[in-house]
């Protein structure tokens, strides 16, 4: 019961924080304000991590039974030792100079130069922590917020992480960061969706791929949601932080920073390339062969091609059309998979059936090479930024069931969570993941073995020969058939006789009521 209450409290806190923060932005554009708020949450995280380590060291320095105990120590020696950077670096904690510590910033929150003080604090942190170089967005001095609003925002974020447990505080900051990412994506509408994949889609990809350990790669990583969810999955299944190595790339510089902060705030080690860059023309992980690839590339992008990509070694199954990158993404990910690896990709529905400009040829080659494992049709209105219906492609070079493709039609599993947006709940995600696991013949230790069965209207395992008969079209609705209708074995003639008799009874009852109404009205002097 405690967990339920805890979750409820967190949700209330998130909503309150968002409502207050949103009110403070006044007329500032959500896209600009996003970096102001998320940057401050990240700064608070760094400061809290530092403070937690400082608190731990103070306890150890003054404990006679601890290896770190300082003999003949006085306040001056203790203070000196607490400023030794090596104590922080040995546990991968960021070193925070005094001017950048949260209590210093909060004490000056009402000063007119608080924006410059925050920028200077971020510069000082970057100088002390090379890992953060280029990640922190220093825009506070020029932020177009009304007087006093930035100080109020500092005060608001100071309330996150209250209590004495520093580890819980940092975890809370991570959850608030993620919640705010989603809310900003919603507030920004179309533009916001470019950096944020709805949580239910990410959870579905992760649940089906089940990344336990190894290298995880996302070549268009947005704000890093795929990685965060992968780590959560691992921890939920008895693994630990660090069982996977994180590799990503992102072209948009501000989104690249958001991803780096999102991972750092959770203590996840990562390699997002030296800098932001286009995955096709500046492939920063060219030698990487990943165990798991999860990605939500931008749909149907037309301006991706560059002359240097002609004859690229990634186009194993055919040259992708210059006017649409969908099949460039699919082939890029297959290229970066280990022989035993798996990939899950979100694409527009058109990718399953289009035959324009060589797309049909590439798809046929992929099917015949037996690298297409599972296709999932998703419900509509899952995304913040587009109404284009989407699907999930799951690829593998060494499939568990060779010569077959599993089709899942999950279009009816969506539930509306607002007037314009639907969602896949935990039950729907579990149903999809369990269906795939049963089809692969995979079972977790101690779990009940579930035998796979085709379910009309929902899932069907189809041979490559049958897929070829359909022109290598991969739309699940074409293969899964219609839902079974319960047959009550009652002959049509008998059923019709009963229904007619029932209707006759109801009509007779209606005539009785008409007569009664006429009688009552007549008694009052009114005639119908």
Averaged in consecutive runs of 10 residues, what is the pLDDT profile of the chain (528 residues)?
A: 52 82 80 84 86 90 91 86 90 88 93 94 91 84 86 88 61 76 70 63 90 91 83 77 87 86 82 92 95 90 91 95 94 96 94 92 97 94 72 95 96 82 88 94 70 94 96 95 54 68 82 80 72
Residue positions counted in the chain = 528
Residue 485 lies in a domain: no
Q: Which pLDDT does position 371 carry in this prediction? A: 97
41 and 173 Cβ atoms separated by less than 8 Å: yes
- Cβ contacts of 180 within 8 Å, gap of 6 or more: 17, 18, 21, 34, 37, 38, 41
Out of 164, 188, 212, a domain closes at: 188
Angle between helices 114-128 and 30-61 (to 10 degrees): 60
Q: Which pLDDT does position 189 carry in this prediction? A: 59
Residue 467 lies in a domain: yes
Out of 188, 206, 231, a domain closes at: 188
Give yes or no: residues 217 and 132 share one domain.
no
**Quick one: CA dihedral 195, 198, 202, 208, positive or negative?**
negative
Coil/strand/helix, residue 337 = strand
- Cβ contacts of 348 within 8 Å, gap of 6 or more: 299, 300, 326, 388, 389, 390, 391
Determine the Cα–Cα distance for residues 355 and 360; give it in Å rounded to an integer. 4
Give yes or no: residues 279 and 350 share one domain.
yes
Give yes or no: residues 466 and 494 share one domain.
no
Angle between helices 426-440 and 199-209 (to 10 degrees): 20
Q: Which pLDDT does position 444 carry in this prediction? A: 66
Determine the Cα–Cα distance for residues 324 and 329; give it in Å rounded to an integer. 10
Phi, psi of 337 (to 5 degrees): -85, 140
Determine the Cα–Cα distance for residues 286 and 247; give it in Å rounded to an integer. 11
405 and 394 Cβ atoms separated by less than 8 Å: no
Q: Which pLDDT does position 489 carry in this prediction? A: 44
Give yes or no: residues 122 and 86 share one domain.
yes
Residue 248 lies in a domain: yes
Angle between helices 30-61 and 75-82 (to 10 degrees): 140
Give yes or no: residues 198 and 53 share one domain.
no
User: Which residue matches tokens 């390699």?
Assistant: 271
Buried b (16+ CB within 10 A) or exposed e, 473-488: bbbbebbbeeeeeeee
Residue 230 lies in a domain: yes
The helix (H) or strand (E) run that includes residue 204 is helix 199-209
Determine the Cα–Cα distance for residues 528 and 514; give it in Å rounded to an integer. 10
Give yes or no: residues 448 and 498 share one domain.
no
Q: Which pLDDT does position 188 carry in this prediction? A: 67
Supply the pTM of this predicted model. 0.76
Give yes or no: residues 19 and 160 share one domain.
yes
Q: Which pLDDT does position 235 carry in this prediction? A: 76
Q: Which pLDDT does position 385 carry in this prediction? A: 56
Residue 83 lies in a domain: yes
- Domain span at 505: 490-528
Helix, strand, coil tally for the chain in percent (to 5): 50, 10, 40
> How many CA atoms, within 13 angstroms, populate the side-chain half-sphere of residue 457?
6
Give yes or no: residues 475 and 507 share one domain.
no
How many other CB atoms are found less than 10 A from the CB of residue 66? 11
* CA distance readout (Å), 503 to 143, 492, 517: 72, 16, 21
Give yes or no: residues 354 and 211 share one domain.
yes
Give yes or no: residues 419 and 508 share one domain.
no
Per the structure, how many domains does the chain have?
A: 3
Phi, psi of 270 (to 5 degrees): -150, 160
């Amino acid at each position: 019961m405690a967990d339920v209450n805890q979750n409820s409290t967190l949700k209330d806190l998130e909503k309150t924080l968002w409502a207050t923060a949103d009110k403070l932005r006044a007329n500032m554009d959500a896209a600009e304000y996003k970096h102001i708020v998320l940057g401050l949450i990240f700064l608070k995280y760094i400061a809290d991590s530092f403070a937690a380590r400082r608190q731990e060291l103070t306890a150890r320095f003054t404990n006679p039974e601890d290896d770190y105990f300082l003999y003949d120590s006085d306040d001056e020696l203790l203070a000196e030792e607490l400023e030794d950077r090596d104590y922080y670096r040995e546990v991968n904690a960021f070193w925070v100079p005094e001017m950048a510590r949260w209590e210093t910033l909060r004490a000056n929150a009402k000063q007119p130069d608080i924006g410059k003080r925050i920028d200077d604090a971020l510069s000082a942190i970057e100088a002390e922590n090379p890992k953060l170089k280029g990640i922190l967005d220093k825009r506070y001095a020029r932020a177009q917020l009304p007087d006093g609003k930035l100080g109020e925002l500092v005060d608001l974020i100071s309330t996150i992480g209250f209590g004495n447990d520093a580890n819980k505080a940092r975890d809370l900051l991570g959850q608030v960061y993620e919640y705010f990412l989603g809310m900003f994506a919603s507030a920004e509408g179309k533009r916001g969706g470019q950096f944020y994949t709805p949580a239910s889609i990410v959870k579905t990809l992760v649940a089906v791929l089940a990344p336990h350990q190894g290298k995880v790669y996302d070549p268009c990583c947005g704000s890093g949601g795929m990685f965060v969810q992968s780590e959560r999955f691992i921890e939920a299944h008895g693994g630990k932080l660090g069982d996977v190595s994180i590799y990503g790339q992102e072209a948009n510089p501000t989104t690249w920073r958001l991803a780096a902060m999102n991972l750092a705030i959770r203590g996840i080690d990562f390699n997002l390339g030296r800098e932001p860059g286009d995955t096709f023309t500046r492939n920063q992980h060219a030698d990487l062969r990943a165990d798991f690839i999860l990605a939500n590339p931008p749909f149907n992008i037309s301006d991706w091609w560059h002359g240097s990509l002609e004859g690229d070694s990634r186009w194993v199954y055919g040259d992708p059309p210059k006017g649409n990158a969908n099949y460039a993404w699919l082939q890029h990910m297959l290229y970066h998979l280990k022989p035993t690896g798996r990939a899950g990709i979100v694409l527009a529905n058109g990718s399953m059936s289009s035959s324009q400009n060589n797309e049909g040829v590439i798809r046929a080659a992929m099917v015949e090479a037996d690298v297409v494992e599972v296709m999932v049709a998703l419900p509509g209105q899952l995304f913040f930024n587009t109404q284009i219906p989407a699907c999930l492609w799951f690829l593998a070079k060494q499939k568990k069931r060779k010569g077959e493709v599993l089709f899942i039609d999950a279009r009816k599993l969506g539930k509306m969570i607002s007037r314009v947006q639907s969602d896949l709940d935990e039950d729907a995600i579990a149903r999809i993941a369990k269906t795939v696991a049963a089809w692969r013949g995979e079972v977790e230790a101690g779990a009940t073995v579930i035998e796979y069965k085709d379910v009309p209207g929902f899932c069907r395992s189809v041979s490559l020969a049958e897929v070829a008969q359909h022109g290598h079209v991969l739309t699940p609705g074409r293969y899964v058939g219609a839902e079974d209708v319960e047959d009550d074995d009652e002959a049509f003639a008998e059923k019709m006789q009963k229904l007619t008799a029932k209707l006759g009874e109801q009509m007779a009852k209606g005539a009785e009521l008409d007569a009664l109404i006429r009688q009552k009205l007549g008694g009052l002097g009114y005639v119908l």
